[in-house]
Amino acid sequence: MSFSSKVKTDKSILSLIDTTFLKFEMLMNFLSGFVIVLIVAVSTINILGRWIFNAPVDGYIDWIEQFMAFFVFMGLAFVQREGGHIRMDMFVSTLKGRKLWVAELISTILILFITLILIYGTYAHFLRAYEIGDTSIDIGLPIWPAKLIIPFSLSILAIRLIIQIYAYGKAIKNNDSTPIAVPLDEDDIENIGK
């Protein structure tokens, strides 16, 4: 599978780690997309079943609630790698070189700190649901699988953030204008081949 990326690669160990981990992130992202297809299929079956046979899908809302956690969280690390998240670049876009990488490093460290707190909280929430046998209201689906995917996906995101923190640190140390393993600005991507 080939796609256009905003991340520079080379033959270094850091780039090898980045691209190897990318394969796992792409699998998670693919599974997230597959869950969206499942949601569309279940929704279509529910609508047609209700309209044609007066028989909607049993526990439709319960199934959709379960699916939501999967497609929302499984692609987080991939989006972080590609710099696909929404952010305000008014300040950061004025920075270049070391100053830019320092700003990116600080924000990535803050994101990692928040992510680690969220991992702890969501894992505790999953464990509580698993231990008490929490189920959905309508058809009694176990809720713990959807609650487990959240700390799992956040852990994958934490690993991606650690890779990026190391890459930003290396970029600061080497004063690299186009570092590897981090998303680059569109202008920087065009200048790589020149």
Amino acid 191: pLDDT: 52
Amino acid 126: pLDDT: 98
| Alpha carbons 76 and 125: distance in angstroms, whole number | 20
Query: pLDDT digits over 36-56, tens only?
Result: 999 999 999 999 999 999 999
**158, 116 in Cβ contact below 8 A?**
yes
| Alpha carbons 189 and 183: distance in angstroms, whole number | 9
- The angle, 0 to 180 degrees and rounded to 10, between the axes of the packed helices 60-73 and 144-174 is 10
**101, 179 in Cβ contact below 8 A?**
yes
Is residue 187 over pLDDT 70?
A: no
- Percent of the chain whose pLDDT exceeds 70: 94
